[in-house]
Amino acid sequence: MYIKSQKIRAMWLPATGVLIALALTLVPFGTASAAATASSASYGKGTRVSAWSPSMTTGGPAFDDQTIRMVVHSSVAGSGARITLSDRYSPEALDVGAVEVAVQASGGEAKPGTTRRVTFGGSGRVTIAPGDEVVSDAVPIQVAAGQNLLVSLYVPGATGTSTWHSDAFDTTYISAGDHTGDDGAAAFTTTTTSWYYLAGLDVVPTTAKGTVVAFGDSITDGYHSSTSTYTRWPDFLGRRLDDERGPHKLSVVDAGIGGNRVLTDVPNLWQGVSALKRFGHDALAQPGVKDVILFEGINDIGNNVGPDGAPLTAQHLIDGYRTLIDQAHAAHVRVIGATLMPDKGNGYYTPAAEDLRQTVNDWIRTGDAFDGVIDFDRALRDPANPAALDPAYDSGDHIHPNDDGMKAMSDAIDLRVLRY
């Protein structure tokens, strides 16, 4: 039986983000979860935690005879790193010719002597069926909290539409041909700010006892945060947790997708299927997950889209939250609810939408359904105009926080709300 722990209520901020609405068909998730389970104890002792894991969507660009070098910013220290490659949202099988991991020196350059070959069942090559994911063998490499690794992925043939995370707010380096083993970055003549096929890094932790998943939309994804500075609110939270004294640290992974909604799929392919459809995979399937911070719903409100195309009501969102909470509790995972931040001045704002937001926030605070509450609304709103963001934290679009606002969100979280 799942038994609720004592609830902690605190003050913090809302996150949600760039919005747009569309309908996406979910590619079935096949045998990958079984592969992950089978290999979960394949390296050393102790429980694995997720160190980095962006949520993936469909609609990415195609590749052909190219190496994709991506930066992975680990939230926690550990060893025996494994990576997850995903073809979950692609219509064609993905043939991977080689994968290497190394410590980043700077930019696309690897620290000499740190490059390690990544294998899958002992082989340096792997083919991933459409809708599937694969987890690598453990790699003999150490990673520190806040350290960057470079993961270089070579695709020898035409891929078709890629499974990706569009808004990485980090730099990815692309070359022609196989340059996975290069320490230097001279061959990587193209850069983007997206991740492709790379869906996770997990480790045997040095001190962490579990994983916290920050689950949300573009605010959680880091929209308007500075590129390659790791100033999303989950990044700040990861550093706060790492600075905690004692052995009971937690890793933090960012499962935000710009424009994502709780109840309905977004018509823009890269903004993802609904939280109801992706929660089990993106949050509850993370290695070592203990807590999920659920901070989503402003895109539902701003687009006024309820189930089956009906106008949205507060009860629709509340029912969606309850469904996610029930799923988490069935998996013995706690859910921390975060209130939705103000957006007056943004195109989402109307008096009716504001009334709906206030009703939903009142329920989050007092409904006694969550295992804890983070009040992002109170932490980031303008004291002189509570329907708007505090100007000190406003990125300029009146819905997404700037870097200072992202830090304020993290600072507002009473760490006791998380399970140690």
* Mean predicted confidence (pLDDT) in 18-33: 31
What local confidence, expressed as pLDDT, does residue 336 receive? 98
Name the least confident of 6-15, 230-239, 273-282, 377-386: 6-15
Nearest to 277 by CA among 310, 307, 304: 307
Judge whether residue 42 has pLDDT over 60.
Answer: no
Taking only the tens place, the pLDDT of each residue in 130-160 is: 999 999 999 999 999 999 999 999 999 999 9
- What span, in angstroms and rounded, lies between the C-alpha atoms of 38 and 411? 38
* Mean predicted confidence (pLDDT) in 180-199: 98
Contact status, residue 212 vs residue 89, Cβ threshold 8 Å: no
What local confidence, expressed as pLDDT, does residue 420 receive? 63
Q: How confident is the model at residue 206 (pLDDT cuts 50, 70, 90)?
A: very high
Comparing 90 with 46, the larger pLDDT belongs to 90
Helix, strand, coil percentages (3-state) for the chain, rounded to 5, are 25, 30, 45
- The DSSP letter of residue 103 is E
Name the least confident of 242-251, 289-298, 395-404: 242-251
Which CATH topology does 9-22+205-417 take?
Rossmann fold (3.40.50)
What local confidence, expressed as pLDDT, does residue 37 receive? 32
What local confidence, expressed as pLDDT, does residue 246 receive? 67
CA angle, 13 then 261 then 85, to 5°: 100
Q: How confident is the model at residue 12 (pLDDT cuts 50, 70, 90)?
A: very low
What local confidence, expressed as pLDDT, does residue 19 receive? 30
3-state SS assignment for residue 218: helix
Judge whether residue 3 has pLDDT over 90.
Answer: no
Q: How confident is the model at residue 7 (pLDDT cuts 50, 70, 90)?
A: very low
Model pTM score: 0.90
- What span, in angstroms and rounded, lies between the C-alpha atoms of 288 and 201? 12
Nearest to 293 by CA among 258, 260, 339: 339
What local confidence, expressed as pLDDT, does residue 247 receive? 63
Contacts of 376 (CB under 8 A, 6+ apart): 12, 13, 14, 15, 295, 338, 339, 340, 341, 409, 412
Amino acid type, 396:
G
Taking only the tens place, the pLDDT of each residue in 101-129 is: 999 999 999 999 999 999 999 999 999 99
Judge whether residue 161 has pLDDT over 50.
Answer: yes
* Mean predicted confidence (pLDDT) in 255-283: 94
- What span, in angstroms and rounded, lies between the C-alpha atoms of 314 and 308? 15
Nearest to 384 by CA among 412, 356, 342: 342
Percent of the chain topping pLDDT 90:
85
Judge whether residue 45 has pLDDT over 90.
Answer: no
Q: How confident is the model at residue 233 (pLDDT cuts 50, 70, 90)?
A: very high
* Mean predicted confidence (pLDDT) in 367-380: 98
What local confidence, expressed as pLDDT, does residue 400 receive? 98
What local confidence, expressed as pLDDT, does residue 8 receive? 38
What local confidence, expressed as pLDDT, does residue 245 receive? 75
Judge whether residue 31 has pLDDT over 80.
Answer: no
* Mean predicted confidence (pLDDT) in 220-230: 96
What local confidence, expressed as pLDDT, does residue 419 receive? 77
What DSSP assignment string belongs to 147-198?
-EEEEEEEE-S---SEEEES--SS-EEEEES--TT-SS-TT--EEES-EESE
Percent of the chain topping pLDDT 70:
88
What local confidence, expressed as pLDDT, does residue 268 receive? 81
What local confidence, expressed as pLDDT, does residue 308 receive? 87
What local confidence, expressed as pLDDT, does residue 271 receive? 87
3-state SS assignment for residue 19: coil
What local confidence, expressed as pLDDT, does residue 46 receive? 54
* Mean predicted confidence (pLDDT) in 390-403: 98
Mean residue pLDDT of the chain comes to 90
Judge whether residue 43 has pLDDT over 80.
Answer: no
Q: Domain limits of the chain?
A: 9-22+205-417, 56-201
Judge whether residue 36 has pLDDT over 50.
Answer: no
